[in-house]
A and B are shown apart, each in its own frame.
Chain A
Amino acid sequence: MYGSPSTRHLLSLLWLVLAGFLFPSWMPEYFIYIMNMLMMYMILAVGLDIVMGWSGQFAFAHIAFFGIGIYGTALLNMRLGIPFLLGMPLAALLAGAVGYLIALPATQLRTVYLALATFAFSECAQWAFRTWESLTKGPDGLRMTAPQLFGHVVTNDRDAMPIIAIILALVLAATFYLWHSKLGRQFHAIRDSEHVAMASGIDVKRTKVWALAISAFYAGIAGGVYTLFQSYVHPDGLGVSMLVLVLSMVVVGGSGSVAGVGLGVVLLGILPELLRSAPKGFLIWQEFTYGAILMLAIMYMPKGVWGLWQRIQQGRKA
Chain B
Amino acid sequence: MGTWNLIWQGLASGVVTGCVYALVALSLVIVYKSTDVVNFAGGELVMIGAYLGLFILLGLEWPYVALFVMVPIGSFVLGGLFTRFSLDKVSGRAMVKHANLVPLVVATIALSYLLKGIVRVIPFTEEVRRLPPLMTGPPIFLGDVVIQQQDIAIVLVTTVVMVILWLFFGYTFVGKALRATSQNIRAAALLGIPVNLMKLSVWGLSAAIAGIAGILLAPKLLMTPDMGTVVMLAFAAAIIGGFSSLPGCVVGGIALGILQNMVGIFISPQAIAVTPFFVIMLVLLFKPQGFFDTTLAVKKV
Q: Is the CB of B113 within 8 A of A193?
A: no
With A120-B235, A127-B273 as contacts: A108 and B111 at CB distance below 8 Å? no
Question: Is there contact, CB below 8 Å, between B277 and A123?
Answer: yes
B280 and A117 contacting across the interface, CB-CB below 8 Å: yes
Number of A interface residues in the complex (CB < 8 A)? 47
Cβ of B301: which chain A residues have Cβ within 8 Å of it?
A: 194-195, 198, 204
Report yes or no: A124 in contact with B102, Cβ–Cβ below 8 A.
no
Give 1 or 0 for each of A296-311: 1 = CB within 8 Å of chain B CB: 0011101000000000
Contact with A along B267-301 (1 / 0, CB 8 A): 00010011011101100110011000000011111
Interface string of A113-136 (1 = CB under 8 A from B): 101110111011001000100000
Smallest CB–CB gap between B271 and chain A, Å?
9
* Chain A residues closer than 8 Å to B66, beta-carbon distance: none
> Closest CB of chain A to B252's CB: distance in Å?
13
Select the residue from A112, A204, A244 with max chain B CB neighbours within 10 A: A112
A6 within 8 Å of B (CB atoms) = no
Beyond A56-B100, A105-B284, A124-B274, is A292–B235 a contact (Cβ under 8 Å)? Answer: no
A110 with B300: in contact, given A52-B102, A119-B235, A123-B232 (CB under 8 Å)? yes
A109 touches B117 (CB 8 A): no
- Pick out which of these stretches binds chain A: B4-12, B67-75, B86-94, B179-187: B86-94
If A110-B298, A131-B270, A194-B300 touch, whether A285 touches B277 (CB-CB below 8 Å) is no
- Is B103 part of the binding interface, using a Cβ–Cβ cutoff of 8 Å? yes
0/1 string, B111-130, CB within 8 A of A gives 1: 11111111011000000000
> Is B101 engaged at the interface, CB distance under 8 Å to the other chain?
yes
Task: Decide: A284 and B103 in contact? CB cutoff 8 A.
Answer: no
Across-interface contacts of A286 in B (CB, < 8 A):
117
Complex contact B98–A195 (CB within 8 A): yes
- A105 and B121 contact, Cβ closer than 8 Å, known pairs A294-B106, A294-B109, A295-B107: no
Interface of A is mostly: helix
Shortest distance in angstroms between A13's beta carbon and chain B's nearest beta carbon? Answer: 28
Question: Within the assembled complex, what's the spacing in Å between the Cα atoms of A34 and B21?
Answer: 43
B164 → chain A closest CB, angstroms: 26
Rounded to whole angstroms, the CA-CA distance of A113 and B90 in the bound complex is: 22
B281 touches A108 (CB 8 A): no
B288 near A109 with CB under 8 A, answer yes
CB within 8 Å of B: which A224-273 residues: 244, 247, 251
Least Cβ distance of B36 to chain A in Å? 8
**Is B203 in contact with chain A by the CB < 8 A criterion?**
no
Contact A124-B121, Cβ < 8 Å, known A109-B288, A194-B301? no
Which chain A positions have C-beta within 8 A of B254?
none
A291 to B93 CA separation, bound complex (whole angstroms): 22
Q: Is the CB of A117 within 8 A of B281?
A: yes
The answer, yes or no, to whether B174 is at the interface (CB within 8 Å) is no
Report the separation of the CA atoms of residues A185 and B141 in the bound assembly, to the nearest whole angstrom: 65
On whether the beta carbons of B110 and A298 are closer than 8 Å, the reply is: yes
A108, A120, A291: the one within 8 Å of B277 (CB): A120
The answer to whether B107 touches A287, judged by C-beta atoms less than 8 angstroms apart, is no
In contact, B299 and A110 (Cβ under 8 angstroms): yes
Q: A110-B299, A298-B103 are in contact. Are A287 and B120 (CB under 8 A)?
A: yes
Q: In the complex, A191 Cα to B38 Cα: how many Å?
A: 18
A236 to B121 CA separation, bound complex (whole angstroms): 21
Most chain B beta-carbon neighbours within 10 Å: one of A57, A108, A110, A285: A110
Chain B residues, Cβ within 8 Å of A112: 32, 36, 38, 243
Residue of B nearest to A297 (CB): B110
A294 adjacent to B113 (CB under 8 Å): yes
Q: Is the CB of A58 within 8 A of B117?
A: no
Q: Which residue of A lies closest to B121 (CB)?
A: A284
Picked from A113, A204, A284, A295, the residue with its CB within 8 Å of the CB of B114 is A295
Closest residue on chain B to residue A59 by CB atoms: B102
> Cβ of B243 and Cβ of A288 under 8 Å apart?
no
Q: How far is the CA of A124 from the CA of B284 in the complex (A)?
A: 16
| Contact residues in B for A111 (Cβ distance below 8 Å) | 36, 101, 300
Given A58-B105, A120-B235, A120-B276: A106 in contact with B114 (beta carbons within 8 A):
no
Query: B113–A244 contact, CB under 8 A?
Result: yes
- Across the interface, which residues of B come within 8 angstroms of A191, CB to CB? 100
A-B contact pairs, 24 of them (CB 8 A): A56-B102, A105-B284, A108-B284, A109-B297, A110-B243, A110-B300, A116-B235, A119-B40, A123-B273, A127-B277, A247-B109, A286-B117, A287-B120, A288-B114, A288-B120, A291-B115, A292-B114, A292-B117, A294-B109, A294-B113, A295-B110, A295-B114, A299-B107, A300-B89
Using a CB–CB cutoff of 8 Å, the interface residues on chain A facing chain B are 52, 56-58, 105-106, 108-113, 115-117, 119-121, 123-124, 127, 131, 191-195, 198, 204, 244, 247, 251, 284-292, 294-295, 298-300, 302
New A-B contacts (9) at CB < 8 Å, excluding given A105-B285, A124-B277, A298-B110: A111-B300, A113-B288, A119-B40, A123-B274, A123-B276, A284-B121, A288-B120, A291-B112, A295-B111
